[in-house]
């Protein structure tokens, strides 16, 4: 794993087009290290400072009335950037969320996701590779991996992060099992080699015939270089010392 710290991330927005005025309404991220959730999370509702289309409300259930009194992105953007900095981000359909976060950060003059030193793992792309031609929505993956999603009435950033964490662990379990198996196999081979090695190693000395062949080879090197070859120079220097 290239990053010690991973953040499972999701956002809810007013629409689909960050370059056409849509804004983030909800942000959630939960932290994972060594495939274990740490308990650290960041969950924020954010006032978009604009209307929310009815079609979007039908998806996530977030209305302007519910966001009354909540901070605007410029009030929490630095906090979000600091939370994400340097982590590997695990996101389902990553271009969508990264596009919105980059837009919001740029509005504030903050670094983009890549500028924060983050890498991104898109679980939708992973699922399409693993299950080509099949449905790979988060709901479909929860069903496929038997992840309980009974509490998910609307799309919500925090509940979606919790579901995605379980899905991601299920999707990558085989990869990590393979690494663990290889490590165990390597240790077994090393132990077998240590057990087979004798306590005292026998030293084999060159025979008179082998020594004569070696000297003849060095004579040929001396002739080729027109003097004393490097081997004999070093041996003479060792003898002088």
Positions annotated as catalytic residues are 155
CB 160 within 8 A of CB 138: yes
Residues paired with 8 in a beta bridge = 30, 90
Find out whether 43 is annotated in a ligand binding site.
no
DSSP annotation of 47: B
CB atoms within 10 A of CB 55: 9
Does the annotation place 60 within a ligand binding site?
A: yes
Q: Is 184 annotated as a binding residue?
A: no
Name the residue with tokens 């799309």: 155
Q: Is 109 helix (H, G, I), strand (E, B) or coil?
A: coil
Annotated binding residue 233: no
The upper half-sphere exposure of residue 74, i.e. CA atoms within 13 Å in the direction of its Cβ, equals: 5
Question: Which segments are annotated as binding site for substrate?
Answer: 10, 12, 60, 160
């Amino acid at each position: 794993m290239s990053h010690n710290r991973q953040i499972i991330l999701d956002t809810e927005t007013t629409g689909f087009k960050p370059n056409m005025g849509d804004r983030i309404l909800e942000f959630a991220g939960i932290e994972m290290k060594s495939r274990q959730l740490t308990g650290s999370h960041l969950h924020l509702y954010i006032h978009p400072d604009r209307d929310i289309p009815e079609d979007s409300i039908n998806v996530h259930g977030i209305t302007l009335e519910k966001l009354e009194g909540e901070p605007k992105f410029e009030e929490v953007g630095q906090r979000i950037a600091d939370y994400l900095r340097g982590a590997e981000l695990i996101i389902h359909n990553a271009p969508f969320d990264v596009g919105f976060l980059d837009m919001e950060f740029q509005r504030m003059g903050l670094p983009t996701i890549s500028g924060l030193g983050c890498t991104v793992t898109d679980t939708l792309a992973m699922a399409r590779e693993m299950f080509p031609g099949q449905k790979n929505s988060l709901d479909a993956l929860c069903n496929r991996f038997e992840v309980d999603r009974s509490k998910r009435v609307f799309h919500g950033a925090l509940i979606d992060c919790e579901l995605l964490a379980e899905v991601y662990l299920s999707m990558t379990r085989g990869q990590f099992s393979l690494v663990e198996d290889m490590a165990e196999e390597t240790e077994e081979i090393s132990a077998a080699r240590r057990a087979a090695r004798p306590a005292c190693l026998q030293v084999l000395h060159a025979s008179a015939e082998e020594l004569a062949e070696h000297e003849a080879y060095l004579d040929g090197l001396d002739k080729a270089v027109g003097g004393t070859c490097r081997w004999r120079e070093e041996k003479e220097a060792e003898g002088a010392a």
